C-alpha cells in the first residue's frame, strides 16, 4: 500500500517545511519515502506543490492524477487547482485563507466564491480549518504550516502519534521547538 499526499499552497506559506517533516516522519515510521517539488520561479508568491509518497517501495516521486489520498491545501484557491489529483472519495483539508493572485488584485480575474462549498459538492471528503487564525493566536502566523501538519497527522494512521513531536524536536532549531510543538498539538486537536 502506498500513501500519496499532495501539499499545495502559495510561495512563502511554508509548505516546504511541512512536506519535509511529513517525509521524515514517514521515514522514521519505517517506510520508503519519496518527495518531489519544484523550486525556482515558485518562490516569488507563485503556486507551489509538493508530492509526498510513502509505502513499501516507491518508484516515481510524482503522484498520479486520481491517486492522491489526501490533499493538504494551505490556501483555498490552490485546493481547487489540484482536485484532479484526488482519488474519488479522497480527503481534502483546506486552510481558510484566501491569497489573491495578481490578476485578481488588479481586478482582471475573479477569485471564486464559496470554495469550501464547491469542494463539498465534489465526490471527496472535506475538512476546512481556520489554521491561519490559530497560528495568529499562537502569536506567529509562520507556524501555519505546522498547525496544518497537525491536522494532517491525525489522519495518517500509518505513522505512530509520538513520532511527530519527536521529529519536530529533531529537525527544528531549539528556539523554534516550543512554538511548533504547540502549533502541532493545536492542529491535531483542531478537527
Partner 1 sequence: MKHSGNRAFLSGNAAIARGAWEAGVRFAAAYPGTPSTEILEFCGTYAEIDAQWAVNEKTAMETVIGACYGGARSICAQKHVGLNVAADPFFTVAYTGVNAALVIVSADDPGMHSSQNEQDNRFYSMMAKIPMFEPSNSQEAKDMTIAAVKLSEEFDTPVMVRTTTRISHSEGIVSLGEREKAPEREFVKDMAKYCVLPHNARRLHGKVEERQKKIAELGCKSPFNRIEEGDKSIGIIASGISYCHAREVFPNASYLKLGLTYPFPAELIKKFAASVEKLIVIEENDPFLETEVRALGISCIGKDRLPICGELNPDIIHESLKELVNLPMPATTPKATVDIPVRPPVLCPGCPHRGVFYTLRKLNCTVTGDIGCYSLGAFAPHNAMHTIVCMGASITNALGIEKAMKEKIHGKLVAVLGESTFMHSGITGLIDTVYNKGRHVTMILDNSITAMTGHQENPASGKTLKGEPTKVLDFAAMCRACGISNVHTVDPFDLKLLESTLKEALNDSEPSVIITRRPCFLLKNYKPRVRLVSINRAKCVKCGMCWKLGCPAIEVSPEDGKTVINSALCVHCGLCAAVCRPGAITQAKEEA
User: Please, what is the end-to-end C-alpha distance for the chain in angstroms?
Assistant: 25
**For partner 1, which residue of 32, 96, 154, 163 counts as binding (CB under 8 A)?**
32
The count of residues interacting with partner 1 (CB under 8 A) is: 64
Q: How far apart are CA 94 and CA 176, in angstroms?
A: 24
Q: Determine if 111 is a binding residue for partner 1 (CB under 8 A).
A: yes
Q: Determine if 44 is a binding residue for partner 1 (CB under 8 A).
A: yes
Q: Determine if 171 is a binding residue for partner 1 (CB under 8 A).
A: yes
**For partner 1, which residue of 47, 125, 177, 185 counts as binding (CB under 8 A)?**
47
**For partner 1, which residue of 27, 163, 176, 179 counts as binding (CB under 8 A)?**
27
Q: How far apart are CA 89 and CA 50, in angstroms?
A: 21
Characterize 88-127 residue by residue with b for buried, 16 or more Cβ atoms within 10 angstroms of its Cβ, and e for exposed: eebbbbbbebebebeeeeeeeeeeeeebeeebeeeebebb
Q: Determine if 189 is a binding residue for partner 1 (CB under 8 A).
A: no
Place of cell 481558510: 96
**For partner 1, which residue of 5, 18, 33, 159 counts as binding (CB under 8 A)?**
33
Q: Determine if 134 is a binding residue for partner 1 (CB under 8 A).
A: no
Write the CA distances from 4 to 46, 135, 190, integer angstroms.
Answer: 23, 26, 22
Binding span for partner 1 by CB under 8 A among 82-90, 144-152, 153-161, 180-188: 82-90
Write the CA distances from 155 to 31, 37, 45, 175, 182, integer angstroms.
Answer: 17, 22, 29, 28, 18
Chain residues binding partner 1 by CB under 8 A are 10-11, 20, 23-24, 27-28, 32-47, 58-62, 64-67, 77-78, 80-81, 83-88, 90, 100-112, 118-119, 122-124, 141, 170-171
Amino acid at each position: 500500500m502506498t500513501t500519496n499526499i499532495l501539499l499545495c499552497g502559495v510561495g512563502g506559506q511554508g509548505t516546504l517545511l511541512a512536506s519535509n517533516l511529513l517525509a521524515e516522519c514517514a521515514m522514521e515510521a519505517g517506510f520508503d519515502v519519496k518527495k518531489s517539488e519544484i523550486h525556482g520561479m515558485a518562490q516569488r508568491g507563485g503556486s507551489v506543490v509538493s508530492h509526498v509518497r510513502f509505502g513499501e517501495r516507491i518508484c516515481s516521486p510524482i503522484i498520479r492524477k486520481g491517486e492522491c489520498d489526501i490533499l493538504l491545501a494551505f490556501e483555498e484557491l490552490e485546493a481547487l487547482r489540484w482536485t484532479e489529483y484526488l482519488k474519488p472519495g479522497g480527503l481534502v483539508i483546506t486552510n481558510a485563507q484566501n491569497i489573491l493572485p495578481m490578476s485578481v488584485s488588479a481586478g482582471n480575474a475573479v477569485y471564486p466564491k464559496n470554495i469550501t462549498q464547491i469542494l463539498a459538492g465534489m465526490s471527496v471528503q472535506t475538512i476546512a480549518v481556520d489554521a491561519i487564525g490559530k497560528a495568529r493566536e499562537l502569536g506567529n502566523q509562520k507556524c501555519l504550516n505546522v498547525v496544518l501538519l497537525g491536522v494532517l497527522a491525525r489522519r495518517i494512521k500509518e505513522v505512530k502519534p509520538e513520532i511527530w513531536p519527536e521529529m519536530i524536536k529533531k529537525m527544528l532549531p531549539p528556539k523554534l521547538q516550543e512554538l511548533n510543538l504547540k502549533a502541532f498539538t493545536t492542529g491535531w486537536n483542531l478537527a
